[in-house]
Chain A
């Protein structure tokens, strides 16, 4: 078997990862990344970019095997291993903490940014001889046994990637050998590389910015270059950042422009005439790319999803060459009619006329807009299906005819990023939109829809229209500045999402479980119930939404009021009432309550309410009837 020595590359990466994981300030993280990019091997940099932009290598070693080997090495009983895991909240870290001391010094380095020192070559500065520290002799040279090999991060990752086909015994030999030569911090990172699931708080944007700074290239250019389908195993750093790029060029998407949530009233945006309003759709953000005679579909998670949506191939021939559309991948039900009905302009025109008439009639009255009136003007030509429907499609490896019939997936287009092979992002939204409309109309297919523009004259009126969101299967309204270019990443100023208020229900907490990562060792994951007669029926799990102080308070309550313990789950006295907010509700056969919620979270702690005052299953069913289409 290939021998892997312990390393500079791994250590450098471990130092970076730990620093990123504990830094509390964005600037410190950026600085750490920048430092890494200016010092590390080019090959390693490519892997780091891949790892931090979601291009994780496939898992080749099962976590239960890691678990087993660690138990074997430590001799700990399974229950104690599990208990440890529930306290740490992360398998990779648990194993790193439990393994017998490696050559890299005693145990896990102090968790924090000082850990760059690792466990090597300890020198304690002693002041007064009687001051207590034992002096350097005791542990100096703790790292003496380390081999000074210089395996890179790349070597580890390639070796790991290759393990997939190998026998369990050779997987084991490799992992055990790595563990044996690593210190606790490196083991943690190494385990993380195997298990995945980093919660390191690094956005792709941050990686882009750090790269831009160290390579002195514009961030938008970097963002475009590291987007799309490239393989870190076959891409060099210079190729990745060079103009030409690699073979994935044809399918390369543009980085998405993301909106910020509008926290205030839209009046702060100024003149309504400068803004374009559209519905906010509850699907998956996607890019549709037609290049070289082929059609590619990218999701916001930068996943190539072309295969998942065979219905899109129907437009391959109809879309002009060199076109990139930005829009929503979404289930579309009956009602989408190609032809004249889909003509957005005529609808907008109709509305304008209507509104003029109204104004004539009520010239002397204060302006009042009724929801009913807006309902007609904002009728859709298609029926967006709830996100839950789309989920039944994206989770599947093989898509059957039945799937295609039950949940046809369409694309609601709202922007044009490339036309005739030219990057159009620097043109105004108005220009892009005009061309987009022409393209979508020429395709003329019921599953390819234009995101309708919501006509409005003033913010009040738009607020009224917004009340229709849920009815139309939308999450609220998007506001885009008509003169704005298409930017990169999440930027304030030109795009805003003005979401509708969530649905809410008051419920009582009945189970609690310890959280993970930042929340490990605290009971932070809760299950809630509503009343049904004299029974409590669980209907959702929810976490987040509480302040750290409230979390601590609930945690203390859980510890004092546990009725039963099932592994990590505690049944607690049903006393604490919370308002649960959610974005949507759907029927579900899998849940006891018969409903499944979309984005459930704790809105607030209703300390003013007793469990007797919580909502009922009937209330949930009513919501299902109204919004659960």
Chain B
């Protein structure tokens, strides 16, 4: 019996009797992070990192009693199986799940990035026999520039917009990218305005003790002049919606790993694309996989066929696994977050879908 099985409800540890990021309701769910394709409602009990907990409570509507929060590295035993969470560097609270039983160790990465973004915790390489890795950007064309370089580009863009009397609207996921951008934006703007969706998440995190630069929520009654030359963070669902009109004149910059390819920038009709991703790039994936020393690698959501084949050719036994993570088989970033933001955004939500 393998320590972890791939079932139609998700990754299951039969010995420990728990699932990791199940996509159907189960009795015990270990959650890597709070993005909606990994954390779903309906399960009876949840285990997650301390900083993921408030997000789960707020987003899934579960009660505090149903959630057990742990620190990174703090072990939990379930029927003899040792489970611990370790930083994945993806978003605040995001964790890899290390599962150990009778000397066998599996690590489930969830989503991860290997560069330290300063707010999500530095990715921790873990030794294991079996590694379950994501592959959202599992192609060699995805090689990110270091965060300071991208931040510098974003800052230059904001300043240029300001000089032309334009507001800078940055399209970013409300959970993760929106918080990551704040330290980049703070030095170059007086105010950072955010869409209701990012605002809500900001409040949840700040109330849980996370220290973040201040933001202001965009309110319907705010006069248009307020936004002149300022910075706005909005989810992709707001792109092109009537909600955006109040910022005119503005330029739109999309922050996403997909912006690495010019065609995607043009397809989004964005004025600028910044290849800023919360996922590991090709080298990041390969480096992380090698660091685990794993004998076997299971590749999930993204370019799983490509990465698995490449690993096999390099002598690392790998297989692809179908999961319900990622938006589609090509591996979309979790747009689900943005869609949910609509509901959370309340009066700001002018558009139905993205």
Contacts and interface: CB of A to CB of B under 8 A. Distances in A.
Given A117-B152, A125-B187, A139-B146, A518 B267 contact: yes
B265 interface: yes
Contacts of A127: 183, 186-187, 213
A24 B267 CA distance: 10
Question: Which residue of A76, A110, A124, A548 has the most chain B CB atoms within 10 A of its CB atom?
Answer: A110
A516 B261 CA distance: 11
Contacts of A519: 263, 267
A77 to B, nearest CB: 6
Interface in A454-486: none
A22 B274 CA distance: 12
Nearest to B262: A111
B259 A111 contact: yes
A114 interface: yes
Question: Which residue of B145, B263, B266, B272 has the most chain A CB atoms within 10 A of its CB atom?
Answer: B263
Contact of A114 (B118, B160, B213, B267): B160
B139 interface: yes
A448 B274 CA distance: 57
A413 B182 CA distance: 65
Contact of A521 (B140, B151, B274, B330): B330
B150 interface: yes
Nearest to A101: B143
A377 interface: no
B213 A80 contact: no
A491 B268 CA distance: 29
Interface string A100-139: 0100011111111111110100111111101111111011
Contacts of B260: 97, 108, 111
Contacts of A117: 152-153, 156
A93 B262 contact: yes
Interface string A555-595: 01001000000000000000000000000000000000000
Contacts of B253: 112, 114
Contacts of A87: 139, 141, 261
A24 B270 contact: yes
B140 A111 contact: no
B149 to A, nearest CB: 5
B275 interface: yes
Nearest to A137: B148
Contact of A106 (B146, B188, B258, B264): B146
A115 B155 contact: no
A contacts with B: majority SS: loop
B140 A80 contact: yes
Contacts of B144: 106-107
Interface residues of B, number: 57
A125 B187 CA distance: 6
Nearest to B272: A112
Nearest to B145: A106
Contacts of A22: 262, 265-266, 270-273
B119 interface: yes
Contacts of A84: 139-141
Contacts of A131: 118, 182-183, 186, 213
B267 to A, nearest CB: 5
B273 A112 contact: yes
Question: Which residue of B145, B273, B306, B330 has the most chain A CB atoms within 10 A of its CB atom?
Answer: B145
Nearest to A18: B262
A135 B187 CA distance: 12
Contact of A516 (B141, B152, B263, B303): B263
A517 interface: yes
A369 to B, nearest CB: 47
B154 interface: yes
A22 B143 CA distance: 20
B350 interface: no
Given A119-B145, A127-B183, A139-B146, A132 B118 contact: yes
B183 A133 contact: yes
Contacts of A77: 310, 313
Contacts of B150: 110
B298 interface: no
B153 A74 contact: no
A98 B282 CA distance: 11
Nearest to A85: B141
A128 B119 CA distance: 13
B319 to A, nearest CB: 18
Given A108-B260, A559-B330, A124 B151 contact: yes
Interface string A484-520: 0000000000000000000000000000000011111
Interface in A118-162: 119, 122-128, 130-136, 138-139, 142
A224 B23 CA distance: 65
A142 B156 CA distance: 17
Question: Which residue of B151, B260, B267 has the most chain A CB atoms within 10 A of its CB atom?
Answer: B267
A122 B186 CA distance: 17
A128 B186 contact: yes
A210 B187 CA distance: 36
B141 A94 contact: yes
B271 A23 contact: yes
Contacts of B149: 105-106, 119, 122, 139, 142
Contacts of B263: 88-90, 516-521
B340 interface: no
Given A22-B262, A90-B263, A126-B187, A114 B143 contact: no
Question: Which residue of A101, A108, A132, A135 has the most chain B CB atoms within 10 A of its CB atom?
Answer: A132
B141 A138 contact: no
B328 interface: yes
B152 to A, nearest CB: 5
Given A84-B139, A131-B118, A139 B148 contact: yes
B157 interface: yes
A111 B152 contact: no
Given A106-B149, A122-B152, A111 B184 contact: no
Interface in B172-203: 180, 182-184, 186-188
Interface in A1-44: 21-24
Contacts of A294: none
A342 interface: no
A256 B147 CA distance: 50
A126 B186 CA distance: 8
A224 to B, nearest CB: 32
B271 A24 contact: yes
A83 interface: yes
Contacts of A136: 148
A88 B183 CA distance: 31
Contact of B274 (A23, A107, A110, A130): A110
Question: Which residue of A90, A112, A126, A520 has the most chain B CB atoms within 10 A of its CB atom?
Answer: A112
Contacts of A330: none
Question: Which residue of B153, B160, B188 has the most chain A CB atoms within 10 A of its CB atom?
Answer: B153
Contacts of B141: 84, 87-88, 94, 97-98
Interface string B72-115: 00000000000000000000000000000000000000000000
9 contacts: A84-B140, A90-B263, A97-B140, A110-B272, A111-B265, A114-B156, A114-B157, A128-B186, A519-B267
Interface of A: 21-24, 74, 76-77, 79-80, 83-84, 87-90, 93-94, 97-98, 101, 105-117, 119, 122-128, 130-136, 138-139, 142, 516-522, 548, 556, 559
Interface of B: 117-119, 139-141, 143-157, 160, 180, 182-184, 186-188, 211, 213, 253, 258-267, 269-275, 303, 306, 309-310, 313, 328-330
Given A113-B160, A125-B152, 18 more contacts: A21-B262, A22-B271, A22-B273, A77-B310, A79-B309, A83-B303, A89-B263, A93-B261, A97-B261, A106-B145, A106-B149, A107-B143, A108-B275, A111-B273, A124-B152, A132-B180, A133-B183, A520-B263
